[in-house]
């Protein structure tokens, strides 16, 4: 359990860019790092980043440091924000090759059996970000059952990823990082929503100009 040196509200967390990716060389990273230390998660973040660096190394030995840092921040930030909201959430677990192998060996990951729909706790549609976040947070969890999943599709995807290490690496390096820009776009989408203000203004003008019985109403 992380030792919290200073309690941050969700607003204070977001003020230091928790919930947004900050490159380790960019302005603002030191402030976020200080927050991680206050929240007792800096050692955990460092371990996660080191793990993902190993998984984000290509055949030439090149390490995609930005992807590793990005994914580690997503996991830590999600944990901190949910904790600040008062939700009971376990600390992220640093995956290991032995843990991955155990998940496959004990049959919790790769079973080919099918399930009745009634066995699933969540049966509604969920957005891709929610699904991928749930999959990400349960990749190294043993004994996940259908009733724990937000949807049958999320459970099937988790089982597929846990099936072997190649599937996990693809998830870490390809699937999950692609959702991060989509999240920021969704958060800012309300800035571009049409609130029909122009339509209401036009209707109001038409109503006002028609009350005096002056005849034709100019639309443009």
Q: Are 116 and 61 in contact (CB under 8 A)?
A: no
Alpha helices by DSSP H, listed for 62-117, are: 65-84, 97-105
Q: Quick one: which of 105, 116, 29 has its CA closest to 73?
A: 29
Q: Position of tokens 């030792």?
A: 3
Residue-wise burial string across 25-55, b where 16 or more C-beta atoms lie within 10 A, e elsewhere: eeeeeeebbebbebbebbebbeebbebbbeb
- What is the per-residue pLDDT across 108-136, written as a single tens digit (0 to 9) for each? 444 456 777 777 776 566 777 888 888 88
pTM of the model: 0.49
Provide the Cα torsion 128, 133, 136, 138; round to 10°. Answer: -110
Arithmetic mean of pLDDT, 145-163: 84
Q: Tell me how many degrees the CA angle 81-132-128 measures, rounded to the nearest 5.
A: 105
At 7, the pLDDT band (50, 70, 90 cuts) reads confident
* Residue ranges of domains in the chain: 1-94, 95-181
- What is the per-residue pLDDT across 57-112, written as a single tens digit (0 to 9) for each? 999 999 999 999 999 999 999 999 999 999 888 888 887 665 555 544 544 444 45
């Amino acid at each position: 359990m992380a030792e919290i040196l200073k309690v941050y509200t969700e607003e204070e967390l977001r003020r230091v860019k928790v919930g947004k990716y900050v490159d380790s060389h960019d302005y603002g990273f030191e402030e976020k790092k200080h927050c991680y230390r206050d929240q007792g998660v800096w050692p955990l973040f460092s371990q996660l980043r080191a793990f993902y660096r190993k998984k984000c190394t290509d055949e030439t030995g090149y390490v995609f440091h930005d992807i590793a840092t990005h994914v580690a921040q997503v996991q830590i930030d999600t944990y901190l924000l949910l904790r600040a909201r008062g939700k009971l959430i376990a600390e992220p677990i640093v995956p290991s090759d032995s843990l991955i192998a155990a998940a496959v060996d004990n049959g919790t990951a790769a079973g080919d059996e099918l399930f009745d729909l009634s066995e699933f706790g969540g049966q509604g549609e969920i957005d891709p970000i929610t699904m991928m976040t749930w999959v990400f947070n349960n990749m190294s969890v043993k004994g996940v059952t259908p009733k724990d999943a937000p949807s049958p599709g999320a459970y099937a995807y988790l089982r597929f990823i846990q099936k072997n290490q190649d599937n996990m690496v693809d998830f870490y390096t390809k699937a999950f990082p692609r959702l991060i820009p989509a999240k920021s776009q969704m958060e800012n989408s309300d800035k571009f929503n049409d609130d029909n203000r122009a339509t209401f203004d036009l209707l109001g003008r038409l109503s006002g100009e028609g009350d005096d019985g002056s005849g034709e109403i100019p639309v443009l």
